[in-house]
Amino acid sequence: MSDQMTIFELSNALAQKKISSVEITKRCLENIKKANPKLNCFITINEEQALQDASTADASIAKNENSILTGIPFAHKDIFCTKNIKTSCASLMLDNFIAPYDATVVTKMASAGMVSVGKLNMDEFAMGSSNEHSHYGAATNPWNKNVTPGGSSGGSAAAVAANLVPATTGTDTGGSIRQPASFCGVTGLKPTYGRVSRFGMIAFASSLDQAGPITKTAQDAAMVLQAMAGHDPKDSTSANEATPDYLATINDTIKNKTIGIPKQYFSEILDPEIAAAIEETIKVYENLGCKIKNISLPHTDLGVAAYYVIAPAECSANLARYDGVRYGYRCKDPKDLEDLYKRSRSEAFGEEVKRRIMLGTYVLSSGYYDAYYRKAQQIRRLVRDEFIKEFADVDFILTPTTPTCAYNLGQKQDPAKIYAGDIYTIPTNLAGLPGISIPIGFNKQQLPIGGQLIAPHFNEQMLLQAAHQYQQQTDWHLQHPQNILSDKE
């Protein structure tokens, strides 16, 4: 058994009884123990439960009562409530929180027979792009220990890139699946808003948040999305859309499909090495018979401005529940109720979270609501509508995932500058569209480069077909960082 095996390969090996889930899970747990001191991608490891679940999976397989995902180990971003297991959101505020119920995503993946091995590090409350804003310390990039894995699903991307588990769950509000997938050289899919239930997924920005898989390949992403997706009456924003069979259509030809290339994503801020990798990617798609069309998304740069009003505004409302009263952190010896609220929140939230709560509170405050929040929602409609207009003439859109590759940990950058780095991923969240990041190359420092595909609402099949067929022509997704699982540095 190789640590580099995909879910598709592991599933076949399990079905042919060449290997057991207990063996695979034990191997994952050994690798996690070896690598986690370097990568810091796991917050909690559930060894005993994982081995029990693996054993149950093996029994199912023996009776031929399994699904294609039965017995596959994976891990959840620590934003999903997992019953009786610590669910921290990488925050001191929830350091003592043992979730009393399972998120719908957790229930669905368990029902598919997948084996959860633990909970993954992230930026606190999903706010950040580097996994440095975690109460449990930064996660590191398996390609270079001095470099960020991205965020907020940094632990999720790092764990897959390091071959610790073949799949993880992440969440994406402004790019938090796609950007770390890009920085770590793995495949990360943000489904259409409403495709995957948000019940039990700790809320950051309710009109933007969406859960999705991070895997080594698009084929694996199709398998995991199949388990995660579906209408949930417990989530009032869950779309009442039937879930297609993603694997069944993944090899459908993309010949004669038209790919839109938006000029606004290729400005002076884009690293020339990334631009060159996109040019090569276009050639691959042309060889697959696709047509290329230059398109225009003129409100792209306004997307960042609108996002950094809407997301903090919604976060300030969603994080108001953390008040030290019913669960989570409470300060010592509060002298009155106001002191209890203020000190509990100030002591337990990190700097980035407090900054966004403050920004959100301001843009919603009396006298500023129309100029900021209402204006941002109007711009949101313009951003969404220009995508819909272009999708009348193109089947999917290709862009870089990020303007630069992963940067060094510990850089004390201006928050406004860091926020600007989300420019290529944010519009997709504002519009509610599905987007996937796939590895398309490496820069001179051997850091991964990611390319993003965006499709119309509820057309994840298009993304998976296009990503899978690209991966059948290239081998960027088959590259793996060295020495993670050895004692060498």
Partner 1 sequence: MDHKFDAKRIAHLASLSLNETEASSLNQQVDKILAAIDKMQTIDTTNIEPLINPLDYNTPLREDEVTETDQRDTLQKLAPKVSAGLYIVPQVIASANEDK
- Packed helices 154-161 and 21-39: angle between N→C axes, nearest 10 degrees: 120
CB of 65 to partner 1, least distance (A): 30
Q: How far is the CB of 34 from partner 1 (least distance, A)?
A: 34
User: Whole-angstrom Cα distance, residue 29 to residue 21?
Assistant: 12
Which residue, 33 or 374, is less far from partner 1 as judged by CB?
A: 374
Minimum CB separation of residue 107 from partner 1 in Å reads 17
CB of 89 to partner 1, least distance (A): 15
Contact of 184 with 216, CB cutoff 8 Å: no
Active-site annotation holds for 38: no
How buried is residue 344: exposed, middle or buried, by Cβ count under 10 Å (0-12/13-18/19+)? buried
- Footprint on residues 361-380 left by partner 1 (CB under 8 A): 361-362, 365, 371-372, 374-380
Nearer to partner 1, 400 or 432 (CB): 432
Considering the complex, what minimum distance in angstroms separates the CB of residue 63 from partner 1? Answer: 33
Q: How buried is residue 347: exposed, middle or buried, by Cβ count under 10 Å (0-12/13-18/19+)?
A: middle
CA distance linking residue 303 with residue 422, whole number of Å = 10
Q: Which stretch binds partner 1 (CB under 8 A): 11-19, 156-164, 263-271, 354-362?
A: 354-362
Helix (H, G, I), strand (E, B) or coil at 24: helix
d(C-alpha 331, C-alpha 319), whole Å: 17
Q: Which is nearer to partner 1, 5 or 302 (CB)?
A: 302
Binding characters for partner 1, 227-246, by CB under 8 A (x = yes): ------x--xx-xx------
What binding mask, one character per residue, do residues 453-472 give for partner 1 by CB under 8 A, x or -?
----x---------------
Of 207 and 474, nearer to partner 1 (C-beta) is 207
231 and 472 in contact (C-beta within 8 Å)?
Answer: no
Candidate list 88, 176, 316, 344, residue with the active-site label: 176
Which residues lie below 8 Å from residue 48, measured CB to CB, with a gap of 6+?
A: none
Nearest distance, CB of residue 229 and partner 1, angstroms:
15
| Cα–Cα distance list, 12 to 9, 69, 80, 187, 221 (Å) | 5, 10, 29, 21, 16
Site for partner 1 in 387-416 (CB under 8 A): 414-416
Which one of 11, 67, 77, 119 is the catalytic residue? 77
CB of residue 121 to partner 1, shortest distance in Å: 22
Give the contact letters, 420-459, x = binds to partner 1 (CB under 8 A), - = no.
x--------xxxx------------------------x--
From 358, 411, 482, 483, residue interacting with partner 1 (rule: CB under 8 A): 358
Nearer to partner 1, 326 or 488 (CB): 326
Minimum distance between the CB of residue 138 and partner 1, rounded to whole angstroms?
Answer: 20
Nearer to partner 1, 17 or 381 (CB): 381
Q: Which of 88, 130, 134, 152 is catalytic?
A: 152
Amino acid at 309: V
Active site residue 152: yes
Residue 383, C-beta contacts closer than 8 angstroms, at least 6 positions apart: 297, 299, 300, 302, 303, 306, 427, 430, 431
| 190 belongs to the catalytic site | no
130 near 365, Cβ under 8 Å? no
Smallest gap, in angstroms, from Cβ of residue 126 to partner 1? 18
* C-alpha closest to that of 272 among 182, 405, 406: 405
Cβ proximity to partner 1, 42 vs 80, nearer residue = 80
Nearer to partner 1, 63 or 326 (CB): 326
Q: Closest CB to partner 1 among 58 and 78?
A: 78
Interface with partner 1 in residues 278-337 (CB under 8 A): 299, 301-302, 304-306, 308-309, 316, 320, 323-327, 330, 334-337
Residue 346 within binding range of partner 1, rule CB under 8 A: yes
Backbone angles phi, psi at 74, to 5 degrees: -160, -175
**Binding letters toward partner 1, positions 42-81, x by CB under 8 A:** ----------------------------------------
Using the structure block, give the residue that is written with the tokens 């979730």. Answer: 99
Q: Give the DSSP H/E element, type plus range, for residue 396.
A: strand 396-400
The residue count of the chain comes to 489
| Strand 396-400, strand 448-454: pairing | antiparallel
Does residue 480 belong to the site contacting partner 1 (CB under 8 A)? no
Q: Shortest approach of partner 1 to residue 192 CB, angstroms? A: 8
Measured CA distances, 339 to 172, 299, 319, 342 (Å): 34, 44, 17, 5
- From the list 16-24, 178-186, 267-275, 342-350, the region that binds partner 1 by CB under 8 A is 342-350
φ, ψ of residue 161 to 5 degrees: the values are -60, -35
**Tokens of residue 345, six digits:** 């929140």
What 8-state DSSP symbol labels residue 295?
E
Distance CA 290, CA 268 (A): 27
- Through-space distance between the first and last CA atoms of the chain, rounded to whole angstroms: 24
CA–CA dist 191, 15 (Å, integer): 28
Of the two residues 241 and 252, which places its CB atom closer to partner 1 in the complex?
241
Q: Which stretch binds partner 1 (CB under 8 A): 11-19, 69-77, 352-360, 477-485?
A: 352-360
Instruction: Tell which positions 88-147 bind partner 1, by CB under 8 A.
Output: 97-98, 100
Q: Within a 13 Å sphere around the CA of 75, how many CA atoms are in the beta-carbon half?
A: 32
Which residue numbers are catalytic?
A: 77, 152, 176
